[in-house]
Every structure is written in C-alpha cells, then in structure tokens.
Structure 1
C-alpha cells in the first residue's frame, strides 16, 4: 500500500524542515498498520518517529495552544475570561452565603415559633397556678373558720353528748326493769306469803334489773351480735343475785340434809334469776336492733 500524506501538517517545532506524515502499510496478516513518518520539506522521507499517533497529535495541539496564548491580540480576551471566571467564583461564594443565611433565618424562625408556643403554654400554666392558689387560699380560710367554729362549739357538744348518753342509759334501765319485773311476777306471786313480802321482792327485782340494764349497755357497747357476751352478762347477774338470796336464808348446818337443801334452794334461785335477767337482756337486744335504744358510745 502506498503511503498517504497530509499536506496540511506543518513542520514540527525543534526539527527544521521535518513534516510529520501518516502512512498505512499492510502487516503480515493482511491488516493495515499505521506509521508516522517525518518528511523533510524537500520531500525526502526521514526515519519513522518513535512517538505514537495520539502523542503526536497531543504535542501538535499543545504547541498550537501555546502559540495562540503568546499572541498579543489574544491577551485581552484571556484577561476578560479570567475576570469572568473570578466573577463567577465570587457569585458562587455569594450564593452559598445567601443560602447559608436563608438556612439560618429558617432555623431562627422555627426557634421563634417554638418560643412563642412555649410562651403561650407558660402563660396558660401561670393562669392555672394563680387560679389554684386562689382556691387553696379560699379553702384555707374556710378551714380556719370551720376549726374556729368547732373549737368554740366543742365544750357545748361534749356536754350535749353526755346528756344524751345519760338519757340513753336511763332508757336502758327503764326497759330492763320493766321487762324483768314483769318476768318475775309469776314467781313472786307464787313465793309471796304476804303483800309486804311480794312488794319487797318486786322492788328488789326492779332495782336489780335497772342496774342490769345500765351495765348491759356499757358492757355490750356496739358489739350487739356477740352472743357469749350477752349471755355471760346475764348469767353473772343471775348467779350473784341467786347466791346472795341463799346467804340471806337459813344458815348452813354441817350435815348432808342441810347441804342438799341449800343446794336445791340455790339452784332454784339462780334459775329464777337467770330467767329474769335473760328476759331483760332479750328486751334490750331487741331495742338495740330496732334502733329504739342507742348502744354506747353514740359518737362511733
């Protein structure tokens, strides 16, 4: 293949009279091969250059650019280009500053909004605190007045409660004495030999059952469902009164007949008194449960 020349290529700098030319030859495999030849200005071909095609083109372009830069008529153009580049850089810096300021302004606005919301919440909380403080002060005034009234009325209330307690005790004694006396009438009529004996026996039972009513109220207190306590109180009064009647009778002799006689009389007397006091206790318990009589104490 014949070499192809490029007439527009100029001589290489540094090599006088040398013009680069590109040629193609055929390789052993039949493929085209590229060569760069240096041709003298007179048309004489020099030895092939060791530079590759890309390197040769880059060298040519670099030389061309240097030549353009060295020209005086192009210097103002490049100065204006540099000035424009500097203005672009300054504009970019100013734009970055503006964006930064806008971001700061946005954050500041958000903080202001948050502070305003917090300020409104604080104002509402302060109003609620003032309202609560006023309510507390009002309550304290009412409490102070109430305590003063209570302290002034305390002695009077105590005296009234004592009077009421005495009245309830009198009611308990009356109920117990009436019921106990009525329960003892059959026995008194059976045992009495005269009106004087009957009256004396009835009077003793009346007084004993009245005392039993007062004692029963103070003993039971508010434990009105305690069966053992109620029956125990009644049995205690009955045993004491029955044994007292035996002691007032004929004296005990040291023989079996006297001992048996006193035992029988004691059992009969205790049984009679148990009937009387149990009747009184049942009546009092009924009055307690029907709220006709108040247990002791009334304040509980």
Structure 2
C-alpha cells in the first residue's frame, strides 16, 4: 500500500542541483602562548562550502555569489526527502488519516452548530408567538369577565323591573284589572276586523269587477263586502276562541256568513213569481250569490287563522287565568 505525499509539503526549487561538493580548507595559524614554561601549537580550520550549479547553457559554474542559493537548495532537498520519509511511514499514515477524519468531524460539528443556531432562532420566534397568544388569551379572559359582569347587571335590572311590575300589578284593584283586560280584548277584536276586512275585500274584488260596468257600480258592493268581512272577523275570533284545530267550527262560521249574505243579495233582486222559470232563475242566482260570498268568507277565515298562528293576532281570551276566575 503506497501513499502519495501531500503536494503542499513538497518544495520544488527552480535551479536543479547536479552535485554538491564540500571543500574544507585548513589554515594553520601559529600563536604565541603567554606561558613561558610550555608552548604548544594548535590549529584552527575554516570550512568553506561551495556547490556547482548549472547555468542556463548547462555549464557548471562555481560562482561564489551562488553559494547562498545552493545551500538553500541543498537544505530544501534534504527537507523534502525527510518529509517523504515521514509521509511513507505507517504510523504517520494513520496519523494523517486521523487528521482527515478529525477535519470531517469538525465540518460535521460546524454544520450541526449552524443547525442548532437556526433552531434556536426558530425557538425564539415560537416563544415570541406564544407570548403574543398568551397576551391575547388574557385580553379575552378580561373581556369575558366584563361580559359576565354586564350580564349580571342586566339580569339584576330585569329582576328589579319584574319586581316593580309585580308590585304595580298587586297594587291594582280588581276593577282596574278588568278594565285593562277589556281594552286588550277590544284592541285584538279591532285587529281581527281589519285583517278580515282587507282579506275579504281583496278576495271579492274580482267578483265585483265581473258584475260592475263602471267604477261607480263597484263602490257599493265593495263597501258592503268590507263591512260584512269586518263583522265576520270579530265573530270568528269569539267563535273559534282557542280551539284553533277545529276545522268544522271554522268552516261552519264561514258558511253561515256566506249563506246569510248570499240570501240577502238574492232578496234585493226581482221578486219571486209562482212560475217555473222564475223559481229556476232565483234558485240559480241564489246558488251563485251564496257560492261567491262563501268563497269570500273562506278567504277571510284563512287569513285570520294564519295571523293567529303567526302571533300577529291573539285568540280569545288573551289571558286564560283571568277568564277562569271570571267563570268561577
């Protein structure tokens, strides 16, 4: 298993080194000793290094000015060889692999740190949002408390008003109560008369238009129908009372008014003669009049019943407890 050295650790100098020659020059220098008893000769030597570097033409030159650069190149080559030896060792390979793994772990740790910082920022935003929600919740609770207090005040006002009305009602005499009850009943009877008159007149208007030649002839039948329907409304309210589901009573009242008005209209016509033609014509005319008036009063009864069921009109009697006391 071979490993390639790291290219950043290899230094490639520009000049190529052919060979290096070390020259030693020994220069003996005599010196005088200060001692008179003994004298000895010692020598000192100087080391001079020179290298031969190829110039641009490939010729070797040993210029003294290039000695410094050659030494630098020599040392860099030695360092490169030493680095290569260190990189090729097994224990250094394991160390380099550990260094790479440590670098990867550092990068992973940096990414995790960035994610943690992002999560912290998001958590801060979530906390701020939760704080806003808590503030809103507290405001809502305060509003609910105020609403409860206001509702309590309204209920107290209603109870006090009811108490005042009860006190006022208890202070009223029996005569005043009866008078107030009669006024209510009269007002409901007037409403029944108005409703019946309007509905009955509108229902009889097409019939009157077929019988009248001009507008003046339309006024009298319309007025008669209006008055008779108003009386029918008051009578219908007192006749039906609170028995609103009695269909026979409702239709019986309408039929009675229809027969009475139809026969009255027939009596206002030409007199009856004791002949077959006169009897036949009066019978046919009477049936037509009764049918027309019966239709008018049936429409008025339907309008009254509809208004009673909607609560627009109150049936008779208005107060059942008062009527019960009067019957007792």
Tell me the TM-score normalised to structure 2 length: 0.46
Tell me the TM-score normalized by structure 1. 0.50
